[in-house]
Amino acid sequence: MNVSSPAFTEFRHSLANLAGNPQETGMSDDERLARARSTFIAKLNRRTAVDMETCIHCGMCAEACHFYIATEDERYTPAYKIDPLRRFYRREVSPLRLLYRPITRKMDLDELKEWSELVYEACTGCGRCDMMCPMGINISEGINIMREGLAAAGLVPDELNALQAEQRQSNSLFGVGAAELKAVAAELAQHGTMLPLDKESADILVLTTAVEVRLFPEAIAACAKVMEKSGADWTISTEAFEASNLGLITGDKTALRAAFKRVSAKAKEIGAATVIVPESGHAYQALRWESANALGEELAFEVLAISEYIARTIKAGSLKLKPATEIKSVTYHDPCRLGRQGGVFDEPREALQAMGLDLRETASNRRENLCCGGGCGEYAISHGAPIRQKAFELKKHELDDTQADAVVTGCNNCRINLMIGAEETGWDMPVVSLVETVASNLAE
């Protein structure tokens, strides 16, 4: 897949049209505000209280944010992005709330509308500021709560709202449902790759995403080759294949739980002990770290990123790789929600090194990695394009400085955003998927 392919052009066209059908919430302004307030109150717990109490307004978090670094617009300071939440906490929840109330103003809807831009367009929830804060404040958790409050108030950007409505109403994304997955499976079968769809029982349930079905079917084929080569008993379910969870991105917890329930129920039904998440950072964070809490129970299965599965099977000796020949040197882009928010740093690197590739790290890497600029749904928001492009330039410079033959990543959303950046700027470093690189170098 490259930027000149018709599928990519068509995908970008569909992104541009997402905002065309704004969803009406049918809520009055008072109702919106009340819903945001009750969401904030429900989400402000001991952990967030400690964070809210501790900020000293030093502003250092700005120096971690790719949007601030790229634009020097002070409104993109992470602490400022969660300022309404902090003020709400002080006035409504904090131990000193009775003292603060007479001297602070109530949260209003205009304020929330203004912050919608800062929280959705100017924040990818990458969490780099979490690593910078000298107090140890989890700012991205504050962003999540802001998004939940805004989602409750019906203030999600139209593009994300459209995607979420589609997932809620028809269990599809970008027009991709069971029929489209079956069509891709039929096409892959013609090229010799069989997808074991809808097995009644399997050890491993493998998920994919609408983006892969529509844009990167070669990633699905690569995943299939890896699973077969490692001797796994696996399946993909046409009823519960979607790993993407718009609820995590928008903050709509009802949508979040609904998506989890589909996957969890299917895994239980077929007796899967493991669920594998494809190359999607937010899908990994959602299922691996958020789903049990959203469902209120521990998961009955293990969740692995495909890169974790690859590294595990390489170590176990069931997957053998040969030296890569098409490219010699690579740099690895840590997807924020897989790495900094998910803890998967070593496994992709172990896979790359198992193919004898010269791994060249960017100046910022692992927990301090720079975001691609388009994560957490940002790349779908049309208004965000100018600052997204500037943030991409930061990333591009770091990638170029490695002088690697290609950049490998483990997230389709990062891949798309890097490809959009490449198309906009004429950047020519190949952007490749980890699982596709591995599948191309399986030892006989």
Give the binding site for other proteins (CB under 8 A).
44-47, 49-51, 53-60, 62-64, 68-69, 72, 74-75, 77, 79-80, 83, 93-96, 99, 130-138, 288-293, 296-299, 302, 340-343, 345, 363-364, 367-368
Reading the block at residue 88, the tokens are 């709400």
Q: For the CB of residue 338, give the shortest distance to other proteins in the complex, in Å.
A: 11
CA–CA dist 109, 30 (Å, integer): 8
Q: For the CB of residue 367, give the shortest distance to other proteins in the complex, in Å.
A: 6
Reading the block at residue 271, the tokens are 């007796």
Q: For the CB of residue 132, give the shortest distance to other proteins in the complex, in Å.
A: 5
Q: For the CB of residue 225, give the shortest distance to other proteins in the complex, in Å.
A: 27
- Which CB sits closer to other proteins, 80 or 88? 80
- Which CB sits closer to other proteins, 50 or 186? 50
Q: Which among 401, 417, 412, 406 has a CA at the least distance from the CA of 440?
A: 406
Cβ atoms of 152 and 39 closer than 8 Å: yes
Q: For the CB of residue 55, give the shortest distance to other proteins in the complex, in Å.
A: 7
Q: For the CB of residue 206, give the shortest distance to other proteins in the complex, in Å.
A: 19
- Which CB sits closer to other proteins, 56 or 194? 56
- Which CB sits closer to other proteins, 159 or 334? 334
Reading the block at residue 321, the tokens are 């790789």
- Which CB sits closer to other proteins, 22 or 136? 136
Q: Which among 236, 279, 246 has a CA at the least distance from the CA of 416?
A: 279
Reading the block at residue 406, the tokens are 């290609």
Q: For the CB of residue 329, give the shortest distance to other proteins in the complex, in Å.
A: 22
Amino acid of residue 139: I
Angle between helix 109-116 and helix 29-43 axes, rounded to 10 deg:
70
Q: Give the single-character DSSP code of 93.
A: I
Give the chain's length.
444
Q: What is the Cα 418 distance to its own chain's centre?
A: 14
Reading the block at residue 142, the tokens are 């504050």
CA–CA dist 413, 417 (Å, integer): 6
Cβ atoms of 370 and 362 closer than 8 Å: yes
Alpha helices in 231-278 (DSSP H): 246-250, 253-270
Q: For the CB of residue 269, give the shortest distance to other proteins in the complex, in Å.
A: 21
- Which CB sits closer to other proteins, 16 or 50? 50
- Which CB sits closer to other proteins, 45 or 254? 45
Q: For the CB of residue 10, give the shortest distance to other proteins in the complex, in Å.
A: 37
Q: For the CB of residue 345, give the shortest distance to other proteins in the complex, in Å.
A: 8
CB atoms within 10 A of CB 231: 10
Q: Which among 171, 135, 126, 148 has a CA at the least distance from the CA of 55?
A: 135
- Which CB sits closer to other proteins, 336 or 406? 336
Q: For the CB of residue 347, give the shortest distance to other proteins in the complex, in Å.
A: 11
Phi-psi region of 136 (alpha: psi -120 to 50; beta: other; left: phi over 0): left
CA–CA dist 389, 395 (Å, integer): 10
CA–CA dist 197, 351 (Å, integer): 27
CA–CA dist 184, 265 (Å, integer): 24
CB atoms within 10 A of CB 53: 15
- Which CB sits closer to other proteins, 199 or 360? 360
- Which CB sits closer to other proteins, 188 or 292? 292
- Which CB sits closer to other proteins, 315 or 328? 315
Q: In what order do the strands lie in the sheet with 234-235?
A: 234-235, 204-206, 274-277, 302-305
Reading the block at residue 232, the tokens are 């796994």
